[in-house]
Structure 1
Amino acid sequence: MVFVQRWRVITAFALVGAATQLVWLTYAPVTTVAAEHFGVSESAIGWLANMFPLLYVVLAVPAGIALDRWFRPSLIAGAVLTAIGAALRLLDGGFAMVLVGQTVVAVAQPLVLNAITGIAGHYLDEKDRPTGIAVGTASTFAGMAAAFVLGAALPEESQLITLTAIGTIFAVLAAAALTVELMRAGTGPTASTSTSVVALRATLGDRYVRRLCVAVFFPFGTFVALATFGQALLEPSGVSADAASIVLLVNVAAGVVGCAVIPVAVLRRGIELPAVMVGLTASAAACLLVALAPGLATGFLAFVLIGATLLPALPIVLAMAERHTGAAEGTAAGLIWMTGNLGGLVVAGLTGLLVDQPALAFGLCATTTILGVPLALRLRREETVATA
């Protein structure tokens, strides 16, 4: 009975994780239509999504500290704020209120995503934690995929309110489910007795955690860059916008499957860093393939490979951080997410400058991805020395 209750908590958390991403990307697939509906520029609509990584960089560490000290209240706050922010977008139908709602969800997002390792650590046995972390991470990419699917299914201006309402209903139901399950399950392990400042200093001073953060900077940036500019980069090779949307959707779907399956097998066999290096190498090769031979077939193959091999690196790294830091897993996860989002801003920014030169842009993504390999190799050597 306890086992089932614990997994109900994980399932409810996964729904909230998916909700944050669904709300984040509500307007991304229908940018042009949304701009016409609200009477603003497409750039303004873009900021409804772009504010999320920006605020994550600022709020990741404070959210991680809050989760380390007050895990259950902080996570419930994140879920409830996500539901409130989603609902605010429906109040008056104007852009200003939509912007306010998206901002509230962007503030809540770090409280949810930073808890991926904590929810597993608080409510699952050690042997089940890799699976819990994999499920939590996969749910975020499933939310992204759902946003793209709904955008494709409801592309008209007259359907925009329906599109927003679906995300809102999902967020409200997910928040209610997680709140109920967390209250039923109790607090989990006792919170850390160390002060927030002490936990932060210890985590920042941990060389292993710092290297984990650096290792995700470039690969995470590559994924964000390709998700942002994939359609524009494939277009010059004759790939239509509709075909590119399918490619990007399959990319995320492959990531969902990869995140749900690969980390569990890898962590149980203790081959985390070799698996990360293989994934980074395969993803870099995929970027190079589409740089040298652009087209629908190569683009489809490359993006599927990237989704299946690059995205699972994130739950693997998060699980490594949880295992290494213990009670400070929220702070460590916050640092990793912050670094990844910062990498997304940097690599996507550089890729955007090369959007009219797809070969160079894909080459840049290949380079930034392969840079993670020597960083992972250094971590492996450090683990070998530590266990010698």
Structure 2
Amino acid sequence: MADTVPGPRSRWAVLAAFAVVGAVTQLLWLTYAPVTTVAAHHYGVSEAAIGWLANVFPLWYVVLAIPTGLALDRWLRPTLALGAILTALGACVRLAGDDFGTALAGQTLVALAQPLVVTATSAVPARYLRPEDRPKGIAAASASTFAGMIAAFLLGTVVSLHTALVVGAVAAVLAAGVLLVALRARPGFLPELAPAGLRDFRDAWRNPVVRRMCLLVPIPFGTFTALTTWGQPLLEPAGVSADQAGLLLLLNVTAGVVGCAVVPVWAAARSRQRQAVLAGVLVTVVGCLLLGFAPGLGTGLVSFVVIGVLLLPALPIVLEISERASGPAAGIAAGLVWLAGQLGALVVTGVAGTLVHAPLGAFLLLAAITLLALPALPRPDALASRTSTSRPASSATSSP
């Protein structure tokens, strides 16, 4: 039931339930990544085929990002509910058979669901949290997605493939049930203006702040994805084993979770978002140069941990700035930002992959690409005090 008194409170229970489902989508996405060789033998297919069990996710995200943003702005709760249900259904489908076709069918369902959930990283805080709480909510929701990646890496190393699939299905069903119950609460905050579909999309894209964030986010997102994708083969010539590389990647993502939970909140409270993103960019450039000229386990440990702490928070910072600037089109703005990030990941990872047998060239390329983020850093006018972009739901006649 909607609040009936002025100044509705933040509904953190809804944010928490949403964050859990977001983490589960990442867990399901990367289920096969830590056990690519084992899964290839199990299903009798190539390792490249197993790669498609993860590659279907960014491909579908590119297709669905904008429609999902439109849907979230108009029908937030039904869209989230559909995403949670499809996630649980896909996880269960993976257990329906013991062949590659069944695995691909289940992954495809989860890939269709992922945009419906992850794109709402800023829309849910915008509707359920007070303005002063939204940076914390966006940071927490962003951190949860990386926590899901950690869970996938850990699960793949300690249990069998079948057990991992069972755990994923149970987690997805329970998370979906919790979110469906939480979504019975109506949003406490509604946009000042009702979402207007394609017109809001045009307005969001014409918004100079949103457009600038779309230019910024592909670079850190792409560099991080390239490092996690090619880190092991690029460090192998320096004597870093596959197990050691896996530990570096796990620490990288773990550091990213900590960074996403702390850095954006600190930066928003002090209006230091620009400085926080700048620090992440410069540290990543130095880290890539260090890995290129002095590769090894020690330099890898320092570089991957520091990059995780300072670079990954750029995503929730960008989402928070975009949400603040977009008003009633928070879902569309988030869709545009996520779309730009996914495209950046595909392009940067693909380009870096052409130099996988030339580690120095690959790391120098990633350093150069990361520097391209500097002209797109958020301007001071984008970081002005939050204006009122939402109103209490109690003053509205309807709630999406």
Specify the TM-score bucket, using the shorter chain as the normaliser. Answer: over 0.9
Give 1:68's aligned residue: 73
Residues 1:25 and 2:30 are matched in the alignment = yes
Deviation at 1:336, TM superposition (A): 0.4
Give 2:273's aligned residue: 272
Deviations 1:105-151 (A, max 9, x none): 11111111110101111111111111100000000000001100111
**Cα RMSD, aligned residues only:** 1.8
Contact 2:321/2:382 (8 A) holds in 1: no
Alignment-mate amino acid for residue 271 of structure 1: R
Query: Unaligned 5+ residue runs, structure 1?
Result: none
Give 2:339's aligned residue: 338
Q: Which moved more, 1:91-100 or 1:236-245?
A: 91-100
Deviation at 1:193, TM superposition (A): 2.2
Give 1:210's aligned residue: 211
Give 2:137's aligned residue: 132
Deviations 1:149-168 (A, max 9, x none): 111112xxxx2111111111
Contact 2:19/2:145 (8 A) holds in 1: yes
Q: Within 5 A, what are the aligned runs for 1:244-323?
A: 244-323=245-324
- From 43, 57, 63, the equivalent of 1:52 is 57
More helix by share: 1
Q: Taking structure 1 as the reference length, what is the TM-score of the superposition? A: 0.94
Deviations 1:234-273 (A, max 9, x none): 1110000000000000000000000001100101111111
Q: Within 5 A, what are the aligned runs for 1:59-138?
A: 59-138=64-143
Q: CA 1:136/1:385 → structure 2, altered by over 3 Å: closer, same or farther?
A: closer
Contact 2:10/2:130 (8 A) holds in 1: no
Alignment-mate amino acid for residue 380 of structure 1: R
Residues 1:169 and 2:174 are matched in the alignment = no
Give 1:380's aligned residue: 379
Contact 1:219/1:368 (8 A) holds in 2: no
Q: Which moved more, 1:335-344 or 1:201-210?
A: 201-210
Deviation at 1:380, TM superposition (A): 1.4
Name the CA distance, whole Å, in 2 between partners of 1:380 and 1:141.
27
SS in 2 for 1:355: coil
Deviations 1:192-219 (A, max 9, x none): 5242111111111222211110111111
Give 2:180's aligned residue: 179
Deviation at 1:385, TM superposition (A): 11
Name the CA distance, whole Å, in 1 between partners of 2:241 and 2:342.
29
Name the CA distance, whole Å, in 1 between partners of 2:136 and 2:9.
14
Name the CA distance, whole Å, in 1 between partners of 2:226 and 2:347.
9
Name the CA distance, whole Å, in 2 between partners of 1:87 and 1:68.
29
Q: Within 5 A, what are the aligned runs for 1:352-363?
A: 352-363=353-364
Deviations 1:86-106 (A, max 9, x none): 110000111111101100111
Alignment-mate amino acid for residue 17 of structure 1: G
Contact 2:9/2:130 (8 A) holds in 1: no
Give 1:224's aligned residue: 225
Alignment-mate amino acid for residue 75 of structure 2: W
- From 18, 37, 46, the equivalent of 1:13 is 18
Deviations 1:309-341 (A, max 9, x none): 110000000000111112101000000000000
Deviation at 1:381, TM superposition (A): 5.7
Alignment-mate amino acid for residue 53 of structure 1: P
Contact 2:252/2:305 (8 A) holds in 1: yes
SS in 2 for 1:114: helix
Alignment-mate amino acid for residue 211 of structure 1: R
Name the CA distance, whole Å, in 2 between partners of 1:370 and 1:169.
43
Moved over 2 A (4+): 2-5, 187-195, 381-387
Contact 1:281/1:373 (8 A) holds in 2: no
Alignment-mate amino acid for residue 116 of structure 1: T
SS in 2 for 1:171: helix
Name the CA distance, whole Å, in 1 between partners of 2:169 and 2:213.
35
Name the CA distance, whole Å, in 1 between partners of 2:376 and 2:167.
42
Deviation at 1:42, TM superposition (A): 0.5
